[in-house]
Amino acid sequence: MDSYWTDPLFKKTIYIILCFLGAIGLILFPLRKKNTHLSAAWASLQSWIIFAPILFLMIAAGKPWPLLGITFISLLCAKEYFQITGMYHKSLFVWMTYLCIGTFAYSVYKDYIILYEITPMIFLGLVSLIPIFLNEAKSMLQYIALSLLCSIFVGWAFMHTAWIVQMPSGAFYLIYIILLSELCDNVALAVSRLVGKKKIADKIVSNRTLEGVVLSFAATLGAAYGLRIILPSTDQQMWWVYGLIAALVGSLGDLILAVIRRDLGVRDYGIFIIGRGGILDRMDRLIFVAPIYYYTIVYLPRF
């Protein structure tokens, strides 16, 4: 489907989500100054009140707008990544990575899956030539490794969202997994801050507890069941698989990028419109969820 403007289910989905965000906003607004936790929740909600309509408009406009929007977000993530790693001044590595992301986008646009899959190896070969071109060796291994990590995370992995949205009923798949991933993240954070006692991975993150993880998993699976109606009818029985992917893989992705953040000594990656974290902070779960979610949709029904 090139455009979702006339799809009744898409309109209903938008209405439900925007009403939900509005209802939460009415609850949080008078409480936003009570404590830091409620202030953070209000700021995070503001981000999504702004971002959600943009996401819906981008998807509903049809090809090539979803791909362009996803590519733009991927490039912003890459820029943020290079800034916090201190590599932004290494222009050859940065622009080579941007070119790699552009190649991923072109592969999706042309449906060249083989080019998409071999691009990381091509990129590794090209970026390894940069030290020779510059006639430098100092710190070059570090720059090559960081560039490759960026191209895999915010390029190859994240751009699977573009493959998803181009599938039949792909918009519903994408909205579904974004909702589940965001819910899991916010429930884990809220419960950990408010009632959590047993800390986990405390040398990596200071705000995650066992109680938060358990309740976020339960909430995500509950939401996966409740929202399954927006999935194609043939996939509605897969709600528990998609819920587990959003909860388990998303949580691991959050921790993996937290390792990078902690090793670099930064609290977060920046500011995402309004509120908590930067673009990478908001996309960290989706970076890891997207490829597994995509291949599950494509291949699991065959078994």
Residues 72, 49: Cα–Cα separation, whole Å: 20
Let me know if residue 26 belongs to a domain.
no
Let me know if residue 153 belongs to a domain.
no
Let me know if residue 154 belongs to a domain.
no
Let me know if residue 209 belongs to a domain.
yes
Residues 156, 225: Cα–Cα separation, whole Å: 29
Let me know if residue 32 belongs to a domain.
no
- pLDDT tens for the chain, residues 1 to 303: 456 777 888 888 888 888 877 887 787 778 777 767 667 667 777 777 777 888 888 888 888 899 999 999 999 999 999 988 888 888 999 999 999 999 999 999 999 999 999 999 999 999 999 999 999 999 899 999 999 999 999 999 999 999 999 998 899 999 999 999 988 988 888 788 778 788 888 888 877 888 989 999 999 999 999 989 889 888 889 999 999 999 999 999 888 888 888 887 775 544 444 445 678 877 888 999 999 999 999 987 655
pLDDT of amino acid 267:
59
Let me know if residue 272 belongs to a domain.
yes
Provide the domain count of the chain. 1
132 phi and psi, to 5 degrees?
A: -65, -45
pLDDT of amino acid 29:
79
pLDDT of amino acid 291:
96
Let me know if residue 214 belongs to a domain.
yes
Tokens standing for residue 187 = 């429930």
Instruction: Identify whether the C-beta of residue 78 lies closer than 8 Å to the C-beta of residue 100.
Output: no
Residues 212, 14: Cα–Cα separation, whole Å: 28
Residues 107, 124: Cα–Cα separation, whole Å: 17
**Domain containing 252: what range?**
50-60+169-303
Let me know if residue 7 belongs to a domain.
no
